[in-house]
Amino acid sequence: MEKAYKILARQKEISNKKAKELIDRGLVYIGDKKVKIARAEVDEDTHFRVEIPDDIEIIYQDESLIVINKPPFVDSYEIEKAIDGAKLLHRLDKETSGVMLLARDEYFFEKAIEEFKKRRVKKSYVAWVEGIVAEEFEIDLPILTIKGNRAISKIDKKRGKPAFTKVFPDIIQGKKSRVNVQITTGRTHQIRLHLSAVGHPIVGDEFYGSRTKAKRVLLHSHKIELLGNLFEAPLPKDIRRYK
C-alpha cells in the first residue's frame, strides 16, 4: 500500500506536489470513481486516470467584459488569475460548467455588481436530478452559509438569507430528470441545496445527498442576461443526455 499521490506522481512522471494538486482539483479517477483524498492508501498496482479539463472557451469579450464557457473541474479563481486585468462578477462551483462573467474595468464591475445586488441579472441553469420532475415548482427557503475550509450551506428559516429558485421539467429518463433552473438570488450552493431539500439532489452531488455516482455534479450554467445582453453556453455532452 502507498499514498495515492505518490503512486500517481510515479505513473505520470510528475512531482508529488503536482500529483496532489490534480487529486485536490477532482481530476483523478480509479475506473469511474473519483480519488478524493491525496493521502489515501491504495494498492501500488492501482492504475489512475487523469481527466484534464477542456481549454477555456471565450464566448464574448470587449474592453469591459469577458464571458467564459467554464469547463468543469476548474476553479473560478484560477480563471480570474489566468486573465490579466479580469475580475470575477460571480463564481461557479468547481464542478459546475457554463457561462461565467468577468469584468475588465472598475466602472463596469461596479455597474454590473449593482445589477446583481438588485436581482436584475437573469441566470438559467440545466441539471440532471434524482427522481421524476413532471411539473414546474418554486423553492423559497432561506439559506445560511458557514464559511471554512469548505463552505457548507443549509436551510435555516431563522438565520438564513432569502433564496428563490424556480424549477421547470425538461426530460425524464428512467428515474432521473433533466430540469431547467432559474434563480434570482445567488446564495452559495443555492441550486444544489434547494434541489436536495425538496428531494431532488443533483446527480453526482454526493455532498448534498445524491446516491448516484457521476464524474461530476451535473449542473451547467446555461444562460445569463446582464444589462440587456444575453450570453449562452451550449450544453456539454454529459448534460445533453444522461448516459
For position 150, what pLDDT does the model report?
A: 80
Task: For residue 202, give the nearest of 156, 234, 238 by alpha carbon.
Answer: 238
Residue 54: the pLDDT is 58
pLDDT at 55: 67
**Domain architecture of the chain: domains with CATH:** 2-50 (3.10.290.10), 57-240 (3.30.2350.10)
The whole-number pLDDT of residue 50 equals: 80
What average pLDDT does this structure show over 35-49?
88
Query: In this structure, what are the phi and psi dihedrals at residue 26, rounded to the nearest 5 degrees?
Result: 80, 30
Band of residue 51 on the pLDDT scale cut at 50, 70, 90 = confident
The secondary structure of 119-172 as a DSSP string is: T--EEEEEEEEES---S-EEEE--EEEE-SSS-EEEE-TTTPBP-EEEEEEEEE
- Quote the pLDDT of residue 52: 63
Hey, which residues are catalytic here?
Answer: 93
pLDDT at 132 over 90: yes
Closest alpha carbon to 53 in 88, 33, 79, 35: 79
DSSP string, 179-209: EEEEESS--TTHHHHHHHHTT-PBTT-GGGT
DSSP helix, strand, coil percent of the chain (3-state; round to 5) = 20, 35, 45
**Grid cell digits, residue 148:** 471554512
The yes-or-no verdict on residue 53 having pLDDT over 70 is no
Q: What are the backbone angles phi and psi of residue 104, rounded to the nearest 5°? A: -115, -5
Mean pLDDT, rounded, for 200-229 = 96
Band (pLDDT 50/70/90 cuts) for residue 157 is: very high
Mean pLDDT of the chain: 92
Residue 190, pLDDT > 90, answer yes
